[in-house]
Amino acid sequence: MGLETLHKHGWTCFAQDAKIAKWVAHVQPHAADIALNPAHIAAWLRYGGTWFAGVNILPNDLCGRLGTGPALAGKAVNFLTELHGPLALDQAQISVIYPGYPAHDGSESEAAHRYRHIRCAAHVDGLRPEGPDRRRYIQEPHQFVLGIPLVATSEQASPMVVWQGSHHIIRAAFKSVLDTVPGADWPRIDLTEVYHQARKKCFETCTRVTVLAEPGECYVLHRLALHGIAPWGEGAVAPTAGRMVAYFRPQNDCNLHDWLNGTY
Ligand SMILES: [Fe+2]
């Protein structure tokens, strides 16, 4: 646990914390309402109704406070504050996964669907494929990913998976290209090839681990870690509201040098 684990493995988990539990107790009913709102469903329901993506949909403030509820607090927040300064959170993603994820509804190619199934749609955040050729550029230099489970589920209910240590490989690969380029030009550098090669190396050399956490627990993912969401497994146990997680991915000042190098 802690910085050493985050640095070494690319993720770390925080044990049950009353302050996180209190935040979850306030937010969960609102998150459930959001995922049932027809307008939000129209915008965010994907893959045959098996994933509500809900990106930046929770109207929380910079401290994670929703309405009159508590600000986000606890050991994980202290940990992140020490690394990055006072909380300056984005609006949380409310990600809800339902039985059958990922159903193939024709919205993505057979190859992309297969990748979603076999490789859990593994990706590094912030480099979304762009255009018909799916080219990758730095778009969203997050500081970290903070995952906060809002419901209890079994491990078959589409957990996050991480390729342990992958952030070292991804970082080295991006540095091999970007270290010789002025920072101002980085967003224009096509990282597609180097990203694909690094991702392949991660699959070949890193252990894939499942991140399991209950409400009151939470986890921090390194900004360069390769991760994805496992398909819904047989015998998965989850509430009818689905497997629901709030993710914070603040960009703050979009400092690309920190994103690539940082202190960890
Ligand atoms: Fe992600």
| 221 alpha carbon – ligand 1 mean position (Å) | 9
Predicted local distance difference test score (pLDDT) of residue 252: 78
Helix (H) or strand (E) holding 96: strand 93-97
| CATH code, domain with 76 | 2.60.120
Residues with CB under 5 A from ligand 1 (ion): 125
Tell me, yes or no, whether 52 lies in a domain: yes
| 228 alpha carbon – ligand 1 mean position (Å) | 6
The mean pLDDT of 7-19, rounded to a whole number, is 97
Would you say the C-alpha torsion 98, 104, 110, 112 has a positive or negative sign?
negative
| Torsion of the alpha carbons at 151, 167, 193 and 228, rounded to the nearest 10 | -10
Structure tokens at 30: 């609102």
Tell me, yes or no, whether 8 lies in a domain: yes
Question: What range defines the domain where residue 141 resides?
Answer: 3-251
- The strand pairing partners of 243, in sequence order, are 97
The total number of residues shown for the chain amounts to 264
Tell me, yes or no, whether 264 lies in a domain: no
Residue 30 DSSP SS3: helix
Q: 143-162: per-residue pLDDT in tens?
A: 999 999 999 999 999 999 99
| 124 alpha carbon – ligand 1 mean position (Å) | 6
Helix (H) or strand (E) holding 129: strand 129-130
Phi-psi region of 126 (alpha: psi -120 to 50; beta: other; left: phi over 0): left
| 178 alpha carbon – ligand 1 mean position (Å) | 22
Tell me, yes or no, whether 120 lies in a domain: yes
Tell me, yes or no, whether 257 lies in a domain: no
| 219 alpha carbon – ligand 1 mean position (Å) | 13
| Lowest-pLDDT range of 87-91, 132-136, 170-174, 226-230 | 132-136
Q: Looking at the 3D structure of the chain, how many domains does it have?
A: 1
| 218 alpha carbon – ligand 1 mean position (Å) | 15
Tell me, yes or no, whether 259 lies in a domain: no
Q: 103-147: per-residue pLDDT in tens?
A: 999 999 999 999 999 999 999 998 988 888 889 999 999 999 999
| 129 alpha carbon – ligand 1 mean position (Å) | 13
Instruction: Give the count of beta carbons closer than 10 Å to the beta carbon of residue 138.
Output: 18
